[in-house]
Structure 1
Amino acid sequence: MNRWSLVASGCCVAASLVLSSCDIGSVGSAKAATFANPIMNGGADPWMIQHDGYYYYTHTVGNAIQIWKSRSLTDMAGAETAVIWKPPATGPNSADIWAPELHWFNGKWYIYYAADDGRNENHRMFVLESATDDALGEYEDRGKITDSTDKWAIDGTVLSKPDGSLYFIWSGWEGDVNVSQRLYIAPMSNPYTISGDRVELSRPTLDWEMIGEPTINEGPEVLVSDKKINLIYSASGSWTDDYTLGLLTADPGSDPLDPASWTKKPEPVFKKTDRVFGPGHNSFVKSPDGKEDWIVYHAAITSGAGWNRNVRTQPFQWNEDGTPDFGEPVAPGAWLPLPSGEPARMRLEAEKAKLEGMQATENEEASGGKIVSGWTDEDSGVEWEIEVEKDGVYRLALRYLNEASVPQHLNMTIGGKLHVDVSLDTGLKGEWSNAFIPVGLKKGSNTIKLGGGGSRLSLDSIDVLAPEE
């Protein structure tokens, strides 16, 4: 068990925190059973999978494949991580590494990813196979995975049926010109080999699928219930506010290679709201105790942000017919209960810290009902004393609102010596976000101060994420 304590100086508030797999105790400062999106302050095409009590996560890095490992769904930004593969200097998979997915088959990990040689028209799917059962360990490059047409391909995933049969599903072009992206399926003889012809499952035909050019169906993901095989996919341009999720369904006993087995829902199943834009390219996991279903997805940081995206998560329900009911994507201003079975976390409210030249004002979307603002560069700041019982790298999940049109910067000092530049992205039209700041703390008391922000920056709270043991 990891024990540590925090003291918010200057306001007579002391807090002690005990983190373990089962409980948290605190005195004088609230332990939080809530969180706010995003769970990653940047990233696209998020993929998360559970295995042996851990969550494994990856997203598009662009020039490598990186895996995160955590027992917590919402604390992934502070998780153990490793770059497990870097592309060769030249060749068909040397550039533009997109949308990796991690799958477990027959005692080994397989990573499916899209890559090219620097020219988008040469994008194809490739696969890595683990040398051991360690997802963060070594991998062998199994090369390209393709059907006989060998056409442009991205966003590959796998449908695994109870009888052990495997099917590869991806987004591709019909020919050699980028007119539209369609969804294809083909049988597999093993996790790294396609063994038959591709079959088209879907193409953009509905109005909500055809916003932006070229028209797009991509990001297919499998979600199976006892009544349906659900294939959730992303539609319309990923650079638009209207990127959205659609749904294809098939009966569990049907032939997935027969297009007649699949029915397309005429309406999107997850789409933009007045505060969430471009939600798409998702994956699905259970809560730590297995009682809840969660969707992990990316969205634009605000309207018009295009490919400037972050990663979010929220629970979803099921319809009587075995299809998912995702509801609406929740805004970053909303607080959600932590996933069932995930331990509470320590939250430091900004208004309870030592304030220098700052003011606390009421805000209905703040975790404690108040925010702190009034930054005036070097003449203002917020300060805490944090005491830990072991050396380590901790993550400070700083929830902030940047209403300026440009990023802002805070200067963090630890013990008055170590200086860390904290960059806070703009919300453009004023939207909440999180910055996940790694800080090396020494056993005992550590003074942490944030200063230097601008006039349109507000701070709500900081969640302190301890290193996992």
Structure 2
Amino acid sequence: MPSRRNFLLQAATGLASLALATRAAARAAARTYTNPVYAGQFPDPFVLRHQGHYYAFGTTGTGRTSDQRIFTLLTSDNLVDWKALGGALTPPAGAEGADFWAPEVVYHQGTFYMYYSSGGGAIGATVGHRLYVATSKKPEGPYEQVALLDVPASKFTIDAHPFQDTDGQWYLFYARDFIDSDQGYRPGTGLAVDRLVNMTRLAGESRTVMRARHDWTMFEKNRTMPLYDNKTFAEWHTLEGPFVRRHGGKYYCFYSGANFLTPRYGVDYCVADSVLGPYSDAGAAQGPRVLHAVAGHVRGPGHHSHILSPDGKTEYLVYHAWNPAMTERQLCIDKLAWTAQGPRCLGPSYTPQPRPA
């Protein structure tokens, strides 16, 4: 039986070892992150980096933030630790009952421009969704709606993504409905692009970027659409959330496909030699190649944006994914790798990962 002195020495040694292990675990935790990086409702995340700070904007739907604005706004210095700042967009006149989706913000010549869609309520009673732009002199807003970016041929237009080419010209990519099945394409939401005459006006020269043609992008079978005189479509497909990157002299239009509630939902891409296309999705037939669900761990990852880490070198995808109860789409991040097979996200991750450098 150990003496009292030995017992006390063993107890002290054990406590010291526990303290060392606790400190080591704390140091390891400080060097890692685990998704979600913001455990609250934050669909369709877009992140802007400006003067060393990150600003994240997320969909609020018909809801309002605590300050009665539209679009949840977060800020961070490292992409991992986020602080809520309230809302970004002042509700425009007639916004009661309207949905507001998928904000994206760019900075151009001293002004911040926010692009988004809205539908329903008084401002969108005759069509499903239309595109709008709002402006602010500060990244955090408040933003004030200044223009409608209408696409007359479409009754449902969402997910505006502004892109500036190397020559300085701005373009607007977006998702819109196509109800025909010409050339073997599937009816549903597809991707298009138009040139911006200025930051608040489209040229009216819309071109199709990509339409659905693969089984995995199906949103719903036998879908009846009130927008189209209650016509029922045997299959309705969805491509949405475009985001464009120029890499290696080519243009990659990333997008999310399928029904966001299903395990099929994920991120794929098409590629072109010119910003206006034509775009090819060769290799996309089997499912999303960039980001996809992990059975039992991650469901519905997608509607992403791209951002560089604080060192300005490492590219991350910022995306949403469902919580286990499927009551919230939460903010997640993971590295993007440009491989010989094309762009691939090193995720979706659900275990500790090295923090962005």
1:139 to 2:143 alignment: yes
CA contact (8 A) 1:241 1:300 kept: no
Is 1:122–2:128 an aligned residue pair? yes
Corresponding position: 1:70 with 2:76:
yes
C-alpha separation between the residues in 1 aligned to 2:218 and 2:25?
A: 50
CA contact (8 A) 2:89 2:144 kept: no
Please, which of 30, 33, 37 is the counterpart of residue 31 of structure 2? 33
305, 312, 318: which is aligned to 1:296? 318
Deviations 1:308-351 (A, max 9, x none): 32121111211247x422144122xx1101111xxxxxxxxxxx
CA–CA separation in structure 2 for the residues paired with 1:29 and 1:202: 47
2:53 maps to amino acid: Y
Question: Which amino acid counterpart does residue 266 of structure 2 have in structure 1?
Answer: T
Alignment of 1:280-291 (within 5 A): 280-291=302-313
Whether 1:326 and 2:345 are equivalent positions in the alignment is yes
Match of 1:173, SS state, is strand
Residue among 320, 339, 342 paired with 2:356: 339
Q: Which residue of 2 aligns with 1:59?
A: 58
* Amino acid paired to 2:131: M
* Alignment partners' CA distance in 2, 1:257 and 1:188: 12
Residue aligning to 2:12: none
* Alignment partner, residue 195 of structure 1: 203
1:311 alignment partner in structure 2: 331
Instruction: Give the structure 2 partner of residue 208 of structure 1.
Output: 216
CA distance in 1 between counterparts of 2:100 and 2:188 reads 21
Whose strand fraction is larger, Structure 1's or Structure 2's? 1
Query: Are the aligned partners of 1:147 and 1:197 in contact in 2 as well (CA < 8 Å)?
Result: no
Shift of 1:106: 1.9
Q: CA deviation at 1:110?
A: 0.7
Counterparts of 2:163 and 2:85, CA distance in 1: 27
Q: Matches of 1:318 and 1:179 in 2, distance apart?
A: 31
Deviation, structure 1 residue 211: 4.7
Q: Are 1:226 and 2:232 an aligned pair?
A: no
| SS of aligned partner of 2:293 | coil
Match of 2:157 among 147, 153, 157: 153
Corresponding residue of 1:247: 269
- Name the aligned partner's letter for residue 104 of structure 1: Y
Give 5+ residue unaligned stretches, structure 2. 1-14, 64-69, 181-185, 222-235
Any stretches of 5+ residues in structure 1 without a counterpart? 1-10, 16-25, 341-469
Percent identical = 29
Larger fraction in helix = 2
Aligned residue runs from structure 1 range 343-354, under 5 A: none
Per the normalisation by structure 2, the TM-score is: 0.77
Counterpart amino acid of 1:330? S
Q: Which residue of 2 aligns with 1:410?
A: none
Looking at structure 2, the residues matched to 70 and 120 of structure 1 have their Cα atoms a distance apart, in angstroms, of: 39
Cα RMSD between the aligned structures? 2.8
Contact 2:46 2:305 in 1 (8 A): yes
Question: Match of 1:456?
Answer: none
48-57 or 136-145: which moved more? 136-145
Distance 1:107 1:324 in 2: 33
The 1-side partners of 2:99 and 2:18 are apart by 49
Deviation at 1:189, TM superposition (A): 0.6
**Structure 1 residues 28 and 292: alpha-carbon distance in aligned structure 2, compared to 1, 3 A threshold:** closer
1: CA distance, partners of 2:170 / 2:253: 15
Q: Is the counterpart of residue 273 in structure 1 residue 290 in structure 2?
A: no
Q: 2:190 aligns with which of 182, 188, 193?
A: 182
Residue equivalent to 2:4: none
Q: 1:235–1:74: structure 2 CA closer, same or farther, 3 Å change rule?
A: same
Matched-pair contact (CA < 8 Å) for 2:175–2:240:
yes
Q: List per-residue Cα deviations over 1:410-457 (Å, max 9, x = no partner).
A: xxxxxxxxxxxxxxxxxxxxxxxxxxxxxxxxxxxxxxxxxxxxxxxx
Distance 2:193 2:93 in 1: 31
Alpha-carbon offset, residue 197 of structure 1 = 2.3
Change (3 A) 1:28 1:182: closer
User: What is the one-letter code of the residue matched to 1:312?
Assistant: C
Letter in 2 for 1:109: F
Which residue number in structure 2 is paired with residue 110 of structure 1?
Answer: 113
- How many Å apart are 1:47 and its aligned residue? 0.6
Which residue number in structure 1 is paired with residue 281 of structure 2? 264
SS at match of 1:56: strand
